[in-house]
Structure 1
């Protein structure tokens, strides 16, 4: 099954277990609003790509890991968009959760999605308890303190922020979790060896996001541009300039591809990553830096 269809099927299955008449309908609707739509599923696709490069001997475990990573990402977006943080009106080309369902339900939606990540892991990896502990630890570290998504969001409240540290916690950590979880789900003997790949790709993606924030078409971006400058957030373009940011992005991709550990599908994975990351930079800026 093509990875995109596989991820959507796994997400549908996870939601089918929680969308019952016994639960509050608006909460279920808000959770679905947060997860389904125009998302690119970059992180779960990366998780699947690593697992498949390692042999993908237990697809149920791989699918549950990919779902956990994606719903954690969606939870972070719901909270990030709220008035206490970015106060965003649009996400993925549609109104944000708190604009549609209100702030109380948006808080609960993000919380419930975090819990759903662990529920999905518990069900999907039950046949391989020896892999469960590692996967739970990977996912928990990616969302909490001292270096998970919560920490990344918290850096925005500090008076001084190191750009690289901010990028690692805000974006890189979930990419690193995706690659490590893909290896762990497939039974790779050293899942930690996959962290560098994800960490480098995550930092590259954040640099690309900073470039898009400066120059991308808002309609294609799915949210207003110029948000970093408006909110005083760290931004690679502000620090390095356009050409410097693109140079940094390309260097990170090269480091990521070079870090892939030995596995049956190493060459195919390298080619896949180079193809995917080739679309990171907005065309307008790619021409400018050429």
Structure 2
């Protein structure tokens, strides 16, 4: 089965444990709405790609880790869009969860997805209790403090923000966890895969900053020019367009170079190089040239 289909099936199965007939109907609909249809599923695909490169044999724990990571990502989007944060009316080309279902249900939807992420890991523990416990620690740290998603969002409330620390927490933490969890789920050393995730995560954030600066809402599927409107730290304001493009290219090269030796290293390098070509927004090729 191709990774994307595998992820979609795993997400549906895991969500089925929460959105059952006993669940409040609106909450059940909001949970499904927040997860489907999804975006590119970059983080869970990265998790599965590393597991495959490390000679995955049993898909149970890799699937659980990939699913948990995507649930946390979806939860972060639901919360990011709330009026108290970005106050964004669009996400993935459709009304944000709080617009479609109301603010209280949006808060609860994000909370429920976070809990479901760890329930999913617990259900898979039978395939490897020790590995499952390690995954829970890795993924939990990526969600909270001191340098997970919650910390990244909290940096927006500080007066002095270091851009690298902000990106590392808000975006990079979940990418680093994706690569580390992919390795840990098959018994490989997760620390060897941290740099790959960190570099891809920072590259993805720089690319998002570039898209926010040069693309429109229809292209992005969410409001554009949010960084400038909310005075958020971003790569374009700090480095300029050309500097941000160069930073993006340097991060991709560093990410590929960081891939440890393993059975599927060459295939993974080729895959990341091919997918990274889509990071740069259309219209900026001349800047990169």
Normalised by the length of structure 2, the TM-score is: 0.98
Partner of 1:174: 174
Superimposed CA distance per residue, residues 222-243 of structure 1 (whole angstroms, 9 cap, x where no aligned partner): 0121000000001101111111
Shift of 1:38: 4.0
Superimposed CA distance per residue, residues 165-222 of structure 1 (whole angstroms, 9 cap, x where no aligned partner): 000001000000000000011111x111111100000000000000000112421210
Residues 64 and 125 in structure 1, CA contact (< 8 A), matched pair in contact too: no
Residues 180 and 190 in structure 2, CA contact (< 8 A), matched pair in contact too: yes
**Residue 113 of structure 2 corresponds to residue 113 of structure 1:** yes
Partner of 1:131: 131
Residues 242 and 289 in structure 1, CA contact (< 8 A), matched pair in contact too: no
Shift of 1:288: 3.2
Residues 19 and 31 in structure 2, CA contact (< 8 A), matched pair in contact too: no
Partner of 2:100: 100
Superimposed CA distance per residue, residues 67-94 of structure 1 (whole angstroms, 9 cap, x where no aligned partner): 0000000000000000000000000000
**Residue 229 of structure 2 corresponds to residue 223 of structure 1:** no
Matches within 5 A, 1:217-256: 217-256=216-255
Q: Quote the Cα distance in structure 2 between the aligned partners of 1:218 and 1:23.
A: 34
Name structure 2 gaps, 5 residues minimum. Answer: none
Name structure 1 gaps, 5 residues minimum. Answer: none
**Residue 54 of structure 2 corresponds to residue 51 of structure 1:** no
Q: Give me the CA root mean square deviation.
A: 0.9
Shift of 1:16: 1.6
Q: Quote the Cα distance in structure 2 between the aligned partners of 1:125 and 1:259.
A: 30
| Aligned length, in residue pairs | 289
- Structure 1 stretches of 4+ with a deviation exceeding 4 A read none
Residues 75 and 110 in structure 1, CA contact (< 8 A), matched pair in contact too: yes
Partner of 2:140: 140
**Residue 275 of structure 2 corresponds to residue 276 of structure 1:** yes
SS at 1:44 equivalent: helix
SS at 2:284 equivalent: helix
Normalised by the length of structure 1, the TM-score is: 0.98
